[in-house]
Structure 1
Amino acid sequence: MVGDGAEGAAALLNPNWANLRQKLEARRHRKSTNPSRGGKGNPAVPALGKRKERPDPEPAATPSAPSVLEPTSEDFSLTEALAMDCEMVGVSTHGTKSALGRVTLVNTWGNVVYDEYVRPLEYVVDFREKISGIHPLNSRVAAKEFYDCSEKKVAEFIKGRVLVGHALNDLKVLLLSHPKKDTRDTAEYQPLLREGRRRSLKGLAFEILGVNIQQREHCPIEDARAAMLIYKRYKKEWESSIKKHAKFSKKLRNKHKNKSVYKQAAESNAPATS
């Protein structure tokens, strides 16, 4: 109280005292709010000594949504429909002829039911690693004999089932055939064509499924899953159109058959000509 009275009296006697007191209070306020000390631009030194500043910890990454290509079930059975994809290697003198290097089958749920590297019947000139993802070691160590894969496995698996895939001329390199009525080729299905021309599986997968595939090496598991999902998106309309086409073809065959019968009957009843 006495000190405050003395300061008040000094302020009355000397008008500069009040200004000086305000400046001192303002300086104390700046020091309390400013972390620097000892001069302009010199950072404050902590009591335990100078140390490196640590960045704030990054927030934990939120889990990404599962890819649509992930299997939707733990069912690994041989379902009514199977999707196939093959990867090719180059044979012949210049490696321009394609031969089977890997074959994969996935079921309706996207689970792999068969996946094997294959040792071609001819000498491999070009493994086409950047596209096929097949390396010489795969062929030497992991590959199965061609006929063991083609005739004994793949043919057995797809028999009596709907075969799904993109550009299913892969069957040719397998030396296999499959009934047209049981084949669902996403490269040939009319609604998926553009101006009557085939489209790539990569383009269809991006447009229809919203996923990017074949970014680097091709993965037959990924490609087979993409083909199966595209088929499932259009399955109702696709199967309906096949049934209509089968019904129309049957009707057409019966019509031609009846015409042939009538013609034969007419010819048999016609009078003999001399």
Structure 2
Amino acid sequence: MQCIALDCEMVGVAPRYVPGRKPKKQSNMVARVVIVNDSGRVLYDSLVAPQELIIDYRTHISGVRPGDLDRAPSLASVQTDVLAILKDKILVGHSLKLDLKVLQIDHPEELRRDTAEYSKFSKYCIKGGQYPALRRIASGLLGIKIQSGTHCPIEDARTALKIYQACQAEWERDVARAFP
């Protein structure tokens, strides 16, 4: 089955006020989506128009600056494009639950390969950490350094893909046992 890798960059938006609940500091909103094919070629790279008030562009991480999203396509348009590309493919990425959540789409769990959640990578967690950082897995497994400055979603998607491909045979055996 064909696989693709996805990565999203996010910005911070104003928290939604819910009476009787302590307000959150800020929520995530998708600002950029990248998808690469199984050889790392970029299939899709799009900014996403804001749906809410942005209070933190997180430029030091996301690379997104005020004004970048002014002429970006709508979330609905991006969702249509992304869903068409994802259809019937293995989806590789790091923290896919969050990426899918901010995209407000779903993908079958049996077709997800999440480097943040694959148990074989727990040895790359920082002591007390719940999930290993992509850069720690990349360094430990592949011997490469990523994310030394602003995160590049193309680099992150390609790196998640390389990690998956390095462990593909064992990973697919584990998936076959989990989803017989």
TM category (shorter chain) comes to 0.7 to 0.9
Correspondent of 1:131 among 61, 79, 99 = 61
Question: Share of identical aligned residues, percent?
Answer: 40
2:108 paired with 1:186: no
Aligned residues: 167
More helix by share: 1
SS of the equivalent of 1:140 reads coil
Cα distance in 1, alignment partners of residues 61 and 130 from structure 2? 23
Cα distance in 2, alignment partners of residues 148 and 244 from structure 1? 36
2:43 paired with 1:110: no
Cα distance in 2, alignment partners of residues 153 and 126 from structure 1? 26
Cα distance in 2, alignment partners of residues 101 and 232 from structure 1? 27
Distance apart, 1:124 and its partner CA: 1.4
Correspondent of 2:148 among 190, 194, 215 = 215
SS of the equivalent of 1:243 reads helix
Instruction: Say whether the 8 Å CA contact 1:95–1:126 is kept in structure 2.
Output: no
1:46-125 pair list within 5 angstroms: 80-92=2-14, 96-125=26-55
2:178 paired with 1:245: yes
Instruction: Say whether the 8 Å CA contact 1:95–1:125 is kept in structure 2.
Output: no
SS of the equivalent of 1:242 reads helix
Distance apart, 1:235 and its partner CA: 0.3
Cα distance in 1, alignment partners of residues 179 and 49 from structure 2? 39
Distance apart, 1:120 and its partner CA: 2.0
* TM-score, length of structure 2 as denominator length: 0.87
Deviation beyond 3 Å, 4+ runs, structure 1: none
2:74 paired with 1:140: no
* TM-score, length of structure 1 as denominator length: 0.58
Instruction: Say whether the 8 Å CA contact 1:80–1:162 is kept in structure 2.
Output: yes
AA partner of residue 109 (structure 1): S
Cα distance in 2, alignment partners of residues 181 and 190 from structure 1? 15
SS of the equivalent of 1:119 reads coil
AA partner of residue 7 (structure 2): D
Distance apart, 1:95 and its partner CA: 6.8
AA partner of residue 118 (structure 2): Y
Q: Which has the higher contact order (CA 8 A, sep 6+)?
A: 2
SS of the equivalent of 2:35 reads strand
Structure 2, gaps ≥5 residues long: 16-23
Partner of 1:203: 136
Higher Rg: 1
Instruction: Say whether the 8 Å CA contact 1:88–1:100 is kept in structure 2.
Output: yes
Instruction: Say whether the 8 Å CA contact 1:187–1:199 is kept in structure 2.
Output: yes
Q: Over the residues paired in the alignment, what is the CA RMSD in angstroms?
A: 1.7
More strand by share: 2
